Amino acid sequence: DQQVKQNSPSLSVQEGRISILNCDYTNSMFDYFLWYKKYPAEGPTFLISISSIKDKNEDGRFTVFLNKSAKHLSLHIVPSQPGDSAVYFCAASGGEKLVFGKGTKLTVNP
């Protein structure tokens, strides 16, 4: 039973355009959500998070949107850069532990 789903395994975007990565969850007890970025052979690095009391959190080029009624969150990267090419993991927490999605591989083409 996959509680956190990233339905797009890959996404390709042109440099300078917007990248939108999506994540759906099923457990209504989740109240904290995070996005991680991962390069090959490296551990994931934390990008941005959002608490369930908010619907938007912005940090530079990265914005996370949370739609609690739809149990959906998304990560927007604007403008996208070639260095953003990586695998992005969505994670959710209900306080006990983190549950990860399977990741979306983003490729930003120059």
Partner 1 sequence: GAVVSQHPSRVICKSGTSVKIECRSLDFQATTMFWYRQFPKQSLMLMATSNEGSKATYEQGVEKDKFLINHASLTLSTLTVTSAHPEDSSFYICSADRDRPNTEAFFGQGTRLTVV
In the complex, the residues that contact partner 1 under the rule CB under 8 A are 32, 34, 36, 38, 40-41, 43-44, 46, 49, 87, 89, 93, 95-98, 100, 102-103, 105
CB 30 within 8 A of CB 24: no
Q: Is 41 or 70 the residue whose CB approaches partner 1 more closely?
A: 41
CB of 81 to partner 1, least distance (A): 20
CB of 43 to partner 1, least distance (A): 4
Please give the C-alpha separations between residue 12 and each of 15, 28, 54, 102, 108, in angstroms, as whole numbers: 10, 31, 29, 17, 6
Which candidate, 107, 105, 86, 94, places its Cα nearest to that of 34?
94
Q: Is 25 or 36 the residue whose CB approaches partner 1 more closely?
A: 36
Q: Is 77 or 101 the residue whose CB approaches partner 1 more closely?
A: 101
CB of 96 to partner 1, least distance (A): 7
CB of 16 to partner 1, least distance (A): 25
SS3 (DSSP) at 2: coil
SS3 (DSSP) at 75: strand
